[in-house]
Structure 1
Amino acid sequence: MTEVDTATWAARFDMLSDPNRLEILLAMHRTPDICVSDLAEAVGRTENAVSQALRVLRRQGWVRSVRVGRTVNYQLDEGTVHDLLHWIGARRS
């Protein structure tokens, strides 16, 4: 029998349990390489609120930032989270 890392899975589900973070992840899944202002508009939140959520998600290793000129874009950076988003029905546009 394979051991399940319950602490890691509990942390993943805890991150997904916040509706704001989940909406941000879903928006990032639909539109990879999205900047904070576009992401904030997509989820109907302030840029500050989205930036705070992105900091948490980045610390967790779920998203990464990529600088493109003067803009910083964000994308999913964790395969398991990507798979979980597909499992709950997320699709790319």
Structure 2
Amino acid sequence: MARMHLLPADRAHRKAIDDHTVCAAIEGIEGVGGPDALDAWAERFSLLSEPHRLTVLLALHHAGPIAVTDLATATGISDTAVSQILRLLRVSGSAAAEKDGRIVRYRLTDPLLATLLDGVHAPATPSAGAVE
């Protein structure tokens, strides 16, 4: 039995239908940069997984730096909820606060998260005959 060049030894006993496809899949996983990088990406995606967080992230991305009150007004989310979301974003390293006199403004600090947010837009209208 030929060993696939990227297959870890602990999986060498497993049979593959297409060795090249298995290697391509492993390259895709390893290309992220290892377990710590996978954890960081999973954290980014978890930040996007809740509608209010996503709303705040989109507003920060497109308007930041922005004050909590303005963010609450723009998003329709209460000041308290926006503050809680911002606390989570600061702890995750995705946002930062900047003091401007008595006003604290928040901005997005994670460029990879910003790239993901750039991909969030209204879906295209399905064309005639498209499968839904």
* TM-score over 0.5 (shorter chain): yes
Which residue of structure 2 lines up, in the alignment, with residue 30 of structure 1? Answer: 62
Which residue of structure 1 lines up, in the alignment, with residue 83 of structure 2? Answer: 51
Which residue of structure 1 lines up, in the alignment, with residue 121 of structure 2? Answer: 89
Q: Which amino acid aligns with 1:40?
A: A
Which sections of structure 2, spanning at least 5 residues, go unmatched?
1-26, 123-132
Q: Give the structure-2-normalised TM-score.
A: 0.64
Higher relative contact order (Cα pairs below 8 Å, separated by 6+ residues): 1
State the alpha-carbon separation in 2 of the partners of residues 11 and 33 from structure 1: 22
The C-alpha deviation readout for 1:62-83, integer Å capped at 9, x for no partner, is 0000000000000010100111
RMSD (Å) for aligned C-alpha atoms: 1.5
Which sections of structure 1, spanning at least 5 residues, go unmatched?
none
Q: Which amino acid aligns with 2:108?
A: L
State the alpha-carbon separation in 2 of the partners of residues 72 and 21 from structure 1: 19
Which residue of structure 2 lines up, in the alignment, with residue 9 of structure 1? Answer: 41
Which residue of structure 1 lines up, in the alignment, with residue 110 of structure 2? Answer: 78
If each structure's strand is expressed as a fraction of its own residues, which one has the higher value?
1
Matched residue pairs, number? 90
Q: Give the structure-1-normalised TM-score.
A: 0.89
Cα displacement (A) at 1:47: 0.6
